[in-house]
Amino acid sequence: MIHIAIQSGGYESNQNILHDIHFDLIPGQLVGLIGSNGAGKSTTIQAMMGTLPYMEGSVQLPAYGYVPERPILYEYFTLQEHIDFLIRSVGQDDSVLQQRANKLCETFQLTTKLSEYPTKFSKGMQQKVMLILAFTPRYSFYIVDEPFMGLDPQAMRRLIQLLNELKQQGASILMSTHALDTAEKICDRFVLIHEGTILKKGTLAEIKDGVNVEDNSLLAAFDALLEVKK
Amino acid sequence: MKLFRKRLSRQWQFNLTIFKSIADWTVWVYLCIPAALFSYFLYRETIMQKQFGLLEWVPFEVFLFVLFYFLQMGIIRSFLEPADQLFLIQQKAHWRKLLVSGLIYSLSLQILFNVLVLGMLFLVFIHLYHLTVLEIMLIFCLSVTTYLWKQFIVRTDFREWFQTILQLLLPLIMTALFLVVPTFLGMFISCAIIALLLALYIQRYVFRHHSFDKLLRADRAQYYLLVGTVFSLSKELQSMKAPKKTGKKPRYFTKRIIQDEVVELIVKTFIRNKTYKWAYLRLIGITLFLYFVLPFWAQILLVIATHFMLKGYTNSVITEMREHPIHVIFQISAERWNAAQLTVKSKLIRSIMVFVIVYFIGVNLFF
C-alpha cells in the first residue's frame, strides 16, 4: 500500500496551494482524483512525484508509470526511439517489454508511425504515445493525469480495458480526470479535491453518504459537497 | 524631435537591460576583458607591426568585396512602432521629423562605423595594397553608397534568397567600380549616387506613408538585433526559443547506434538539432580558420581556449538535454547521466583536441 501524506506544497515558498492531502493507494484499486479546474489535482500529482518546487510531507513511491496531463515528447526521437530508450532504461526484460510495446502500438494503431517523430503527430496520437510509454513497463503503481483528453472513443474504450487489466494484475492506479461519468464506472475509490485540500474521500457510496443529492451520480454528489463547502 | 529622443533613449535602455542580463562579472572576467586584451595585442602584434599574415595571400579584389559586404550591414532606423499606424501616420509633421531624425542618426552611426573600420585597416591599405589616401576615401564613399542602396533592397517585396543575391551583387558592383573607374571620377559618381539615394529615400519613405509595413518590419529587425545576438550566444536563453523544425522522420541513424541509451540520446540529439550542430561546426570552423591568421603566440592561446570552449559548449548542450521535461517519463538516475556525460565529453573533446593539435602543428610546419 502507498500512503500519501502531503502537509503543504506549492510553486513558491510561503504560497501553499496544497494543504493536508492524505490518502492511500491500495494494490488492485483505481483511485480517481477528482476536482474542478485549478482545484490542485495536477499539483498533488507533482508533489507525489517530487517535481513540485515546495512540498512538506512524506511520499514514498515505487517506480511508476506516468501519463502526463499534456503529452511530453522528445523532439529528436522517433516513436520507435522513444520506446527503445524506455525499454533500455527501465531495467526489465527487454524482449517482454518489446512484445508489450508492439501490442500497445497495435492497440492504439500506431504501428505504421514508428519511424516518425511523435512531435509531428496529432494531439490524440501524442496522447496515445504517452499511454504506450507509461504502460509498456510493468509497474506496481501508475499515475494517469487526464488520460482521456484528446482520445477518440475507440482509444478510450481500449484504455479503460487496459486500466482494468492492470488492476486485475494487482497494480495501484491514481487517475486524475474531469470525465466524472467514466470515473464513476471504473474507479474503486475517489479523492475529491477543492482549493488544494481534500473535500471528501472514499468509495462512491461513502462519498454520497450524508450528501443530499437529486440523482445518484458522482457529479451530483461532488456539486452538493461544493455547495455545502460554500 | 522629442518623440525621436524618447524612442532612442528607450532603445538604448532596452539594449542595456539585455546586456546587463547576460553580462555578470563572470562574463566580464572570462569573456569580455580577455577578448578585448587579446584583440588589442593581436592588432598591435600584427597590423601595427606590418605583419599581415594570411591577408598577404588574399587578392585585393576579394578583400574589397568582403569589406563592402561587411560595411553594408546596418539598417536605417525609422523608430516606428506598430501603433503609429493609427496615430502618428495622421500627424505628417511629426512623422517626417521622426523619420528624418532616424535617417540622420542611422547614417551618422554608419559613417562613424565605416570610418573606424577603414581607420583600423589603414595600414593594410597603405603597406599591403599600396593605396593612396584618396583611394581609401573612395572606398569610404563606395561603402556608404552600398549601405544606402541596400536600404531599398531590404524594403522590397522580393523573396529573401533574391534579396541576398542582390546584397551580394552590390559589393561586387562597388568593387568593379573601384577597380575600373578613375579615383576622382569614382568619387564624383559615388557622391552623386549617395545624394540621389538619399533624396529617393526621403521622397519614398519620409514623404509617403504607404510603406509603413516595410519600414516597421526593417526597423523591428534592427531593434531586436541585439536580443537576437544575445539569444544566439546564451544557451540559457536559446532554450526559450522554439527548436528549429525537424522533418517528419530522420534520414540517418534511424536504428540503434550505441549500446548506452543515454549516450545515444545525447549523440542523436546533437546530430538532429540544427542549432547545436551548426553552432558546433561554426565554432570549429572559425577556430581552424584563426590558426591561419593568428601569430604563433596567439595560436598557443587559442589551443587552450579551444579546449575550454568545447568543454563549456558540450556541457551547456548536455545540460539542456538533461533538463528536458521528457525525463519525467524516462526517469534516468543522476549517476547514469553523469557517466554518459563523461563518456561523450571525453570522446568528443579529446578526439577534436587531438585533431586541433595536429592541425596546429601542420599549419605551423607547412605554411
User: Average pLDDT for residues A150-179, to the nearest whole number?
Assistant: 92
Which CATH number fits the domain that encloses residue A194? 3.40.50.300
pLDDT over 70 for what percent of chain B? 90
Is the per-residue pLDDT at B298 higher than 70?
Answer: yes
Is the Cβ–Cβ distance between A54 and A199 less than 8 Å? Answer: no
Q: Is the pLDDT of residue B121 over 80?
A: yes
B349 has pLDDT over 90: no
HEC profile of chain B:
CHHHHHHHHHHHHHHHHHHHHHCCHHHHHHHHHHHHHHHHHHHHHCCCCCCCHHHHHCCHHHHHHHHHHHHCCCCCCCCCCHHHHCCHHHCHHHHHHHHHHHHHHHHHHHHHHHHHHHHHCHHHHHHHCCCCHHHHHHHHHHHHHHHHHHHHHHCCCCCHHHHHHHHHHHHHHHHHHHHHCCHHHHHHHHHHHHHHHHHHHHHHHHCCCCCHHHHHHHHHHHHCHHHHHHHHHCHHHHCCCCCCCCCCCCCCCCCCCCCCHHHHHHHHHHHHCHHHHHHHHHHHHHHHHHHHHCCHHHHHHHHHHHHHHHHHHHHHHHHHHHCCCCHHHHCCCHHHHHHHHHHHHHHHHHHHHHHHHHHHHHHHHHC
Q: Do B269 and A76 touch (CB under 8 A)?
A: yes
Q: What percent of chain B has pLDDT over 90?
A: 31
Same domain (yes/no): A13, A126: no
- Is A169 a member of any domain? yes
Mean pLDDT of A81-108: 92
Residue that is last in its domain, among A138, A158, A182: A138
Nearest CB partner across the interface for B248, out of A63, A85, A116: A116
Residue ending a domain, among A110, A138, A166, is A138
Residues A84, B324: C-beta atoms closer than 8 Å = no
- Cβ-based contacts of B248 with chain A (< 8 Å): 116-117, 120
**Cross-chain Cβ contact A76/B331 below 8 Å:** no
- Residue B264: pLDDT band with limits 50, 70, 90: very high
Pairing of strands A64-67, A2-10: unpaired
Least confident of B98-107, B143-152, B251-260: B251-260
Let me know whether A7 and A24 are in one domain. Answer: yes
B248–A84 C-beta distance less than 8 A: no
Is A113 within a domain?
Answer: yes
Indicate which of A73, A74, A84, A87 best probes the interface with B, i.e. most B CBs within 10 Å of its own CB. Answer: A74
Same domain? A79 vs A134: yes
* Count of domains for chain A: 2
More confident residue, A211 or B114: B114
**Shared domain check, A133 and A144:** no
Confidence of residue B78 (pLDDT cuts 50, 70, 90): confident
Please indicate, yes or no, if residue A67 is contained in any of the structural domains.
no
- pLDDT of B208-223, one tens digit each? 776 788 788 778 777 7
Q: Based on the domain organization, do A155 and A223 belong to the same domain?
A: yes
Element (H, E) at A207: helix A204-208
Split at pLDDT 50, 70, 90, the class of B160 is: confident
A8 and A97, same domain (yes or no): no
Position A205 in a domain? yes
Domain of residue A121: give its range. Answer: 73-138
ipTM for the complex shown? 0.84
For residue B307, what pLDDT is reported? 87
On whether any CB of chain B is under 8 Å from the CB of A223, the answer is no
Alpha-carbon distance values, A141 to A64, A172, A175 (Å): 5, 5, 11
Over the stretch B220-258, which tens digit does the pLDDT of each residue have? 777 776 666 665 555 545 554 555 556 788 877 878 888
Q: Please report whether residue A68 resides in a domain.
A: no
> What pLDDT shows up at residue B227?
65
Residue A219, pLDDT above cutoff 60: yes
Q: Residue B238: what pLDDT?
A: 53
Residue A134 contacts B, CB cutoff 8 Å: yes
With 70 as the cut, is the pLDDT of residue B367 above it? no
**pLDDT at res. B279:** 80
- A147 & A110 share domain: no
pLDDT for the residue A34: 92
Please give the span between the terminal C-alpha atoms of chain B, in angstroms, as a whole number: 57
My answer on whether A102 and A196 are in the same domain is: no
| Mean of all residue pLDDT scores within chain B | 85
Domain co-membership, A49 together with A145: yes
Q: Within this chain, do residues A180 and A224 fall inside the same structural domain, yes or no?
A: yes
Residue of A nearest to B337 (CA): A89
Q: Are residues A87 and A105 in the same domain?
A: yes
Looking at the structure, do residues A40 and A133 belong to the same domain, yes or no?
Answer: no
pLDDT score of B243: 55
Residues of B in contact with A120 (CB under 8 A): 248
CA distance, residue B230 to nearest chain A CA (Å): 24
- Residue at which a domain ends, from A138, A159, A188: A138
Whether A164 is covered by a domain: the verdict is yes
**pLDDT at residue number B366:** 76
